[in-house]
Chain A
Amino acid sequence: MKTAWYFCMLLAVSVSAQQPPKFSSKVETVRVDTLATADGKPVAGLSPEDFEVRDNGVVQKITLLASDNAPVVVQIALDTSASLTGERREALRRACRTLVARLRPGDRAGITTFSHVVHPQQPVAAELLRVDDALTPQLEPGHTALYDAVFASMALADGAPGRALLMIFSDGVDTASWLESKAVLQAARGSETVAYAITTEKRTAGFLHDLSDVTGGQQFAVRGDSLDATFTRVLDEFRQRYLLSYEPQGVARGGWHQIEVRSKRRGVRVRARPGYFDPRQ
């Protein structure tokens, strides 16, 4: 998505009257959103010197673009198909309100609901106003286009400037998408958006597990009464991530690039996306 559009920093957009705009393939900056933890808790106050990043095995020179206080873009995607009813829906509404209340000046947020229909209820904006509207009792009596919704939500998040967090609440079972999971995961590999999946049951495999993995996010299994806490935890954790960047040096262009991020500090573990796809030939 922001894909190698990521590679985007130089953003040489060439537009002509006849041709759709295309992003330059000159690339040239890779950004890696990284979570550092010790004993399971985020670690603050790290500097670029505390990290080592390898691109296809080659150590890169990194800079720190942002950490704790940087504004964030939060895209919420909620599965509102028929399985979300009663108390669970009310708990979700409360959790969304809590999340909105914790947004800071400068943050931006959007909300998308989905069944087999993907409804971007509110585009990413400075104020997230439509939580209640999005979770009105008239839920979609349909099936679940999870893959379609994730692609659309990531595209919407990627379209907004800033560090993007995608929070997906779903039971994790796709039953209606046009898009295939592998196409959406491929898109996610090219995106800088970090996906956190919040599900009703922990799955050790499957689409949401893979999505969290390829974007450097996490997956949480929750019960209705812990939704508030989980939403808050995700946002707080995301704020404490480090946005590292580098211009790839010493590696061939094109194809899949494996990224390895490690902390030089003892006892600190890091979580980041495992790579990126460079579409250039």
Chain B
Amino acid sequence: MRMRAAVLASLLASGLISGGLAAGPRQMPDGLARNLLLQLGLPDTDDAVQWLLAAAGHEPGAMDGPAQTVRAWPIDRLRSALASVSKLKKSAAYNATLARGAMLHADLSLLTRGDGVPKASGDPGYRSPLFIDGRRIGESGLDMQLEFARNVIDHMKPRAGDPRALQWYRAIAADLASRYWLLDLERHNQDARRLFPHEGGVLFDNACEAETMTSPRLQAAVAATLEIHASGSPRGLATQPQFTARFNLLRAEQLYRNALTAEPSMSEARLRLAHVLWRLDRVKDAARMLETATDSPDPVVRYYSAMIRGRVLQNSGQPEAARLSFEQARTLYPRAQSAELALAVLARDQGNEPSVIAAMGRVAAWTRTDDTDDPWWRYYQCNGRNALQELERLRFLFRTGDPQ
């Protein structure tokens, strides 16, 4: 047993499996690893050793040999390996190696899209599609690979101070949001907030998740479950108040405020908070919030800002200012259906039928439509719209140690 611990410590100390940030990518060639293990007298069939080698050898973003090695391991085996590794927390490369392990298991989730998740008795690793009126709106269940990855980060010492852990949490949150993997997202964000309670980005992700719960598609799912419940069928999520729109709007309000306290310049948090306030029928509060909003370099955020501002102005009895705001949105995204409809409703309210007809004519002229035409369609994905960039930044950080 003592020999085994010594081998693991040697592996960590060797730098060969650290994947250290400063040193750039470190991958241990298979032959070298085996030679080292033979010299140290430990067979490479030891789970802890295999896991360390896989973590060190994994190329972020690739379904490579190291990833394949541990892909099918059941959770009990992974936990056992991690328990062995965690005894070596005083080793210099400990955190770096665990961070690479978290990346490895995140990639197993990301690259397999939740397929082929190993299961063990009593294990929360299951996943099933979530449907509403025939459409798949996301996933229900927890991804065991991500659960384990979070577990790995939990073993880092000190975990909250590690920049890799923060970027890991934010990138994975973006990915989960983009896919509507909601149970995973909730668990993930709770963990992130526990580790980084004052980090603006993490608070923003948590607020977004609460706002997503208020989205029409999620609330449609809740309503459908209510109908099932009313008919005497199984009790479901609708029986729990934390799934109601109002509960989550209030939660989102508080979290966006916390995010802005941590990072006052976060323009998207400000406009989303204004939208939440508007939805809570606090139009004046929403207008005040928008007065302090700053410009964002991101055109999507500027579009959201123009649309939400227009909506608030319209409800504040300022139709002309609202029109200008909606037109600004249309200028940013000339094929945005929502901006055209917003303008058409305004025109109708003003008795301007020709403008309504003109707006409908423009919509009718769009023979082909792309999902990027109207950013509103992805509003409730929040930072999920940036998932690919966030993941690439994460992988780059793990490859090079450079946070870009």
Contacts and interface: CB of A to CB of B under 8 A. Distances in A.
Interface in A128-158: 142-145, 148, 151-152, 155-156, 158
B345 A151 contact: yes
B363 A151 contact: no
Contact of A5 (B307, B338, B353): B353
Given A142-B371, A175-B132, A178-B342, 14 more contacts: A5-B353, A22-B351, A23-B353, A118-B363, A120-B360, A142-B135, A158-B353, A159-B353, A171-B133, A174-B216, A176-B216, A178-B376, A179-B342, A183-B345
A20 B354 CA distance: 8
Contact of A143 (B135, B337, B348, B354): B135
Contact of A3 (B133, B220, B351, B366): B351
A120 B366 CA distance: 9
Given A155-B348, A171-B134, A148 B357 contact: no
B357 A155 contact: yes
A155 B338 contact: no
Interface string A159-180: 1000000000001011111110
B356 interface: yes
Contacts of B224: 173
A97 to B, nearest CB: 22
Interface of B: 132-137, 215-217, 220, 223-224, 307, 337-338, 341-342, 344-345, 347-357, 359-360, 363-364, 366, 369, 371, 376-377
Contacts of A187: 345, 348
27 contacts: A1-B353, A2-B353, A3-B353, A21-B355, A22-B350, A23-B351, A81-B135, A116-B377, A118-B363, A120-B364, A143-B137, A148-B338, A152-B341, A152-B344, A152-B360, A155-B344, A156-B360, A158-B356, A171-B134, A174-B216, A175-B132, A175-B215, A175-B217, A176-B217, A178-B337, A179-B345, A279-B351
Nearest to A88: B134
A25 interface: yes
Contacts, number: 117
Contacts of B338: 148, 178
B341 A175 contact: no
Contact of A83 (B134, B341, B355): B134
A155 B337 contact: no
Nearest to B370: A117
**A: contact size bracket:** 35 or more
A4 B360 contact: no
Top 8 A-B pairs, shortest CB-CB distance: A83-B134, A178-B338, A175-B217, A120-B364, A23-B351, A159-B357, A173-B133, A117-B369
A280 B295 CA distance: 38
Interface of A: 1-5, 20-23, 25, 81-85, 116-120, 123, 142-145, 148, 151-152, 155-156, 158-159, 171, 173-179, 183, 187, 190, 279
Contacts of B307: 178
Interface of A is mostly: loop
A142 B136 CA distance: 9
Contacts of B353: 1-3, 5, 21, 23, 158-159
A159 B356 contact: yes
Nearest to B376: A178
A123 B364 contact: yes
Nearest to B216: A175
Contacts of B344: 151-152, 155
B353 to A, nearest CB: 5
Contacts of A20: 347, 352, 354-355
Contacts of A155: 344, 348, 356-357, 359-360
Nearest to B361: A123
A21 B338 CA distance: 23
B217 A143 contact: yes
A253 B137 CA distance: 47
A117 B337 contact: yes
B356 A1 contact: yes
A116 B379 CA distance: 13
Contacts of B366: 119
A202 to B, nearest CB: 12
B134 A21 contact: no
